[in-house]
Structure 1
Amino acid sequence: MTESAGTPLEPLPGDWRRALAVVAHPDDLEYGCSAAVASWTDEGREVTYLLATRGEAGIDTLAPEECGALREREQRASAAEVGVERVEFLDHRDGVVEYGIPLRRDIAAAIRRHRPELVVTLNHRETWGSSGFWNTPDHVAVGRATLDAAADAGNRWIFPELAEQGLEPWDGVRWVAVAGSTTPTHAVDATAGLERAVRSLLAHRTYIEVLTDEDPEAYVRGFLTRSAEETGKRFGGRPAVAFELFPR
């Protein structure tokens, strides 16, 4: 438990039109926040997904070239379930993503290209809260780089080569929202989007069948429902998706 475990969560700000969600792997967003994404797209907001890898190292029985193509297809189908049409991949190598200048540049370029007001990413800390489970290096690297790239994107003297490529600075990111945080501050009502979130995660069926012997739909529905209900205890009793919000 964290110190803020009983603190009520505030509603995530709603005065924005475009979001860019940046994560390491296919399924990261579906485990983290797709019910919120479904609500946003219902409201007419634009959401784009950016993935650092294609998840090609995620299934032991499939060679990376086969696995990457399959997981890309599953990710595009998954995004469509929650109203996301644009899904981009950076092609960093799954499992060995490195925090550093190349990753920051790639994410800053995407921020300049899509010009979001809200950037979403996944837990960038070393562990998953009170569980004590160690986070993966890819999650840590991508989350950290995303927080930094939100500032990089607005500074014309950082990565000046991007402007030469036609990507002018974008200093319009107002918040970075981190899903799966150990210290959430805000939340989004998951009631309307939860059923589509289930379908969205279930679209990663090949990967899920490797993770569990449980029926895939029962596993997905149970996981997402429990998570939303637990978060809802700090959000007026409504099922919810939690975020740690960093204003800029």
Structure 2
Amino acid sequence: MTEQRDQQPSLEPMPTDWRRALAVVAHPDDLEYGCAAAVADWTDGGREVVYLLATRGEAGIDSVAPDACASLREAEQRASAAVVGVSAVEFLDHRDGVVEYGLGLRRDIAAAIRRHRPELVITLNHRDTWGGDQGGGYWNTPDHKAVGRATLDAAADAGNRWIFPELISEQGLEPWDGVRWVAVAGTSTPTHAADAGPGLERSVLSLLEHKAYIAALTDQDPEEYVRTFLTGNAERVAPRFGGRPAVAFEVFPR
């Protein structure tokens, strides 16, 4: 297994010549499991990162009714984002668990891209499975697939004035064709990586802010669970990134 990883191509460093990023995912905690260590390092360097979540994660805790769960998980997400230097967290209020890929989702994400005008857009694995080192072939959830794919499409939609022209007429959102890359975290076919070392400890603290969700997810000690998961993921990327623990991304240039 190790030999096979060592034979894989080295990962390129993530682009650094950008100032603003928009991270678009389905649920509270998606970014904390996926790439918060990279976000912490980026915000430390003076870059601006905004979080956009399609849902409030209201279907995520079996023992908590959706209305109560939504406000709980929103609060946990805002606290979690603050740990890694993110102050702007927005929610689209699509229904957790039944997010549909389609024009409505593309329009909502394109509108956010036009509002925030990022050069880098980040999302989560849009493919059917979590493969390879990212999960051993487990089936991905419909929400992740829908939001990831819609984000990749919306990066182009945002720059075309004739797609969703109502964003101009109704919201005053002029086209933004400045997205230079879309970076997908949690992919089994990464092309790039960001050094996880500087932000790894804060990524642990950030995920730990999802107290209610983690308590419902596992009986393991929360810090042990979080630290093992995040450090393990970062260390698995290291052989392809000069021996440094890292966060892997599949980068689609535009």
Give TM class, smaller chain. Answer: over 0.9
2:159 is aligned, of 144, 154, 161, to: 154
Q: How does 1:182-193 map to 2 (within 5 A)?
A: 182-193=188-199
Identity of aligned residues (%): 78
CA distance in 2, matches of 1:111, 1:38: 21
CA distance in 2, matches of 1:168, 1:5: 46
In structure 1, stretches of 5+ residues that fail to align are: none
CA distance, structure 2, for counterparts of residue 100 and residue 29 of structure 1? 22
2:137 maps to which residue? 132
Paired residues for 1:94-173 under 5 Å: 94-130=96-132, 131-164=136-169, 165-173=171-179
Mapped to 2, the partners of 1:191 and 1:95 lie a distance apart of 33
Cα deviations by residue, 1:118-137 (Å, 9 ceiling, x for unpaired): 00000000000131100000
The more displaced of 5-14 and 223-232 is 5-14
User: 2: distance between equivalents of 1:71 and 1:5?
Assistant: 41
Matched, 1:21 2:27: no
Q: Does 2:226 match 1:220? A: yes
Distance of 2:121 and 2:137 partners within structure 1:
27
Secondary structure class of the residue paired with 1:192:
coil
* Counterparts of 1:169 and 1:75, CA distance in 2: 29
**Distance change (3 Å), C-alpha of 1:83 and 1:8:** same
Q: Return structure 1 stretches of 4+ with deviation > 3 angstroms.
A: 1-5
Alignment partner, residue 13 of structure 2: 11
Q: Provide the rounded CA distance (Å) in 2 between the counterparts of 1:5 and 1:218.
A: 31
Aligned to 2:213: 207
Say if 2:6 and 2:240, in contact at 8 Å, map to a contact too.
no
Q: Which runs of 5+ in 2 are unaligned?
A: none
- Aligned mates of 1:65, 1:107 — CA distance in 2: 24
Question: In structure 2, do the counterparts of structure 1 residues 202 and 5 end up closer, same or farther at CA, with 3 Å as the change threshold?
Answer: farther
How does the TM-score come out when normalised to structure 1? Answer: 0.98
Residue correspondences, number? 248
**How large is the Cα RMSD of the aligned pairs?**
1.3
Match of 2:58 in 1: 56
C-alpha deviation, 1:4, in angstroms: 9.6
Provide the rounded CA distance (Å) in 2 between the counterparts of 1:169 and 1:5: 43
Q: How much does 1:5 deviate?
A: 6.5
